[in-house]
Structure 1
Amino acid sequence: MVRVNGVEVSVARLGHGPPLVLVHGAGMDGRAWQPQLKELAEEFTVVAWDEPGAGRSSDLPVGFGLADFAHCLAAVIEVLRLGSAHVAGLSWGGTVALELYRHHPELVRTLILADTYAGWKGSLPPEEVAARVEGAERMLAVPRERFDPTLPGLFAGDPPAAFVPLLDAMARDVRPETIGPQLFMMAEADERDLLPGIAVPTLLIWGECDVRSPLAVAHAFEDAIPHTELAVLPGVGHVSNIEAPDLFNRTVREFCRAYE
């Protein structure tokens, strides 16, 4: 547990070697990286946080914004004395990773952006953003006992059976007070101005069948970021690290090795 400005942040840390920081998506916590933690810890110091308001971490402070997530993540990296790290973010976590680079580029050795966005505003058509905001409002309007944080289109097909218990456990622990503000932050976020100035090697990992962040978003990143490469995982949806963990892990490992 790491304390950052009064917020307790739960962190899993495994392995030895170059640091690899994993940033989970909205409606998840650090357990979402279970398929990566042990396998990649054979070669890296792997760190996966429960962001503020998720998992075992403290509740999300009132008024916490996207930049606050980035500053909090930076403080975790500094407290753990990781130095400059490979930073991987999935979906919302990729947007947090971009914001980390905006404010603390010295802490980022490489960026790994998986099925993510330059914010919804920065990556999706306005009508799609409006539809997602409306869906988030409906989700949050129901009584707490009927609250269901499951977002549509996370997998190309059914979730992998081996991970269904994990996904169910994470869904039960989602706090409306966290996912609501996050989704509305995503609706307003636009990181496009940052992309041309990214000076570290960047890996894009995308599910070929991702409907939440379609391949067109990946290609927009590819065009905008100077030093980038794109790995498309065939037959895979939005949560690519869970749907194709072996391929995901191999792709991450090979990329990080190239920049050690």
Structure 2
Amino acid sequence: MTVERLYEVVHRGYRTLGRVLVNPAPTLPPVLLVGGAMQRKEGWGRLETLLAADATVVTVDLPGWGGAGLLPAQFGMGFLADSLAAAVRTASVGAVHVFGGSYGSAVAYQLGQRHPDLVRRVALFGALGRIPHAMRPRLTWTIGLLREGLRERFAAEVVQAMLNQDPHISLARRGTVERILYAVFRALGPLEAAQYEQNTLRLLAPGRFDLSAPPAAPLLFGVGEHDSFTTVRDCRSFAQSCPGSAFVRLRESDHPVHLRCPDELAGVLQRFFRAQDLRGVPGCHEVEYPAITR
């Protein structure tokens, strides 16, 4: 039976709220989950449950997330990675396997770069270092809608930008996932609205984090096969910059893979974290190894 432990750590004046689900008899080293900009530490649902059956699981509200307060946009991904490192050290669980999804993939990537002693293996899904060029005007517009108080239009626009809108493709839990995300973005309070704005401005800022020195830890890149936000092409290109990395596509999924297909995602993560063969993982296309050699 898992035991929940909550804690807080402050890095350069900004709080991170941590949550540890302690597995008393783990068969896998601890797993750290780092999610999108509005992902709360308590909101991982079935994916967390499946992973917690084998491992102690750490989740966080980083500065700018959930209950951790507001982080101005001028603080970049490196600051968030250092805040995450402080949270992992305070959790006292040792080196962790890391899952980074969407916004959290950029933080997880830099955690591996800047704090390699804390990281065993890193899985990056819907890998996002900056907002894709084609999405920049649309997401800038969502900030305007939020400032004007047009919450229904704001929520609808964010959901339409994040989810594939093609009615002819097969997506797992299509109506359910859309309703969940619309409700989340429609119900943002004043603090969460400010968090959304600052987090989006952070991603819209010019420049990009350093891709010249990938983390030394083994890397897995993944993406939903129908992701129209961080596309298969973009995620595969990211994987190509990291020698030795693996790349998988999840069937019947788009951007929020942990909501679309938590069982299949947990399956590929468990195999990767155990350093097992990724061929033939249920719910995935055949694994690729697209990374260039140096």
TM-score bracket for this pair, using the shorter chain length: 0.7 to 0.9
CA contact (8 A) 2:63 2:71 kept: yes
Aligned residue number for residue 269 of structure 2: 252
Give the whole-Å Cα distance in 2 for the aligned partners of 1:7 and 1:197: 27
- Are positions 1:114 and 2:125 aligned together? yes
Give the whole-Å Cα distance in 2 for the aligned partners of 1:62 and 1:208: 31
Give the whole-Å Cα distance in 1 for the aligned partners of 2:38 and 2:207: 18
CA gap 1:106/1:206 in 2 versus in 1, 3 angstroms: same
CA shift, 1:62, in A, is 7.6
Aligned residue number for residue 38 of structure 2: 27
CA contact (8 A) 1:86 1:256 kept: yes
Give the whole-Å Cα distance in 2 for the aligned partners of 1:82 and 1:170: 31
CA contact (8 A) 1:136 1:183 kept: no
TM-score normalised over the length of structure 1: 0.85
CA contact (8 A) 2:163 2:227 kept: yes
Q: 2:208 aligns with which of 164, 182, 190?
A: 190
Q: 1:11 aligns with which of 18, 21, 41?
A: 18
CA gap 1:222/1:68 in 2 versus in 1, 3 angstroms: closer
CA contact (8 A) 1:52 1:60 kept: yes
Q: Deviations over 1:99-148 (max 9, x none)?
A: 2223222212111101122323xxx34xx254245324323431376684
Q: 1:42 aligns with which of 53, 77, 94?
A: 53
- Are positions 1:210 and 2:227 aligned together? yes
Bigger mean CA deviation after superposition, 39-48 or 196-205: 196-205
Bigger mean CA deviation after superposition, 248-257 or 26-35: 26-35
Bigger mean CA deviation after superposition, 168-177 or 238-247: 168-177
Q: Which runs of 5+ in 1 are unaligned?
A: none
CA shift, 1:63, in A, is 4.5
Structure (1/2) with the larger helix percentage: 1
* The structure with more radius of gyration: 2
What amino acid does structure 2 have at the position aligned with 1:154?
A: M
Q: 1:85 aligns with which of 76, 90, 96?
A: 96
Aligned residue number for residue 141 of structure 1: 147
CA contact (8 A) 1:14 1:37 kept: no
CA contact (8 A) 1:199 1:227 kept: no
CA shift, 1:183, in A, is 1.3
Aligned residue number for residue 162 of structure 2: 154
- SS of 2:66's equivalent in the other structure is coil
Q: Which runs of 5+ in 2 are unaligned?
A: 1-6, 165-170, 277-294
CA contact (8 A) 1:26 1:93 kept: yes
Give the whole-Å Cα distance in 1 for the aligned partners of 2:251 and 2:73: 40
- SS of 1:242's equivalent in the other structure is helix
CA contact (8 A) 1:199 1:226 kept: no
Give the whole-Å Cα distance in 2 for the aligned partners of 1:189 and 1:2: 31
CA gap 1:144/1:8 in 2 versus in 1, 3 angstroms: farther
Give the whole-Å Cα distance in 1 for the aligned partners of 2:250 and 2:224: 5
CA gap 1:54/1:169 in 2 versus in 1, 3 angstroms: farther
Q: Deviations over 1:50-82 (max 9, x none)?
A: 222322223336853322211111100010122
What amino acid does structure 1 have at the position aligned with 2:149?
A: P
Aligned residue number for residue 54 of structure 1: 65
What amino acid does structure 1 have at the position aligned with 2:160?
A: P
Q: 1:234 aligns with which of 239, 251, 255?
A: 251
Equivalent pairs counted in the alignment come to: 253
- SS of 1:220's equivalent in the other structure is helix
TM-score normalised over the length of structure 2: 0.76
CA contact (8 A) 2:20 2:91 kept: no
What amino acid does structure 2 have at the position aligned with 1:227?
A: G
Give aligned-pair identity as a percent: 25
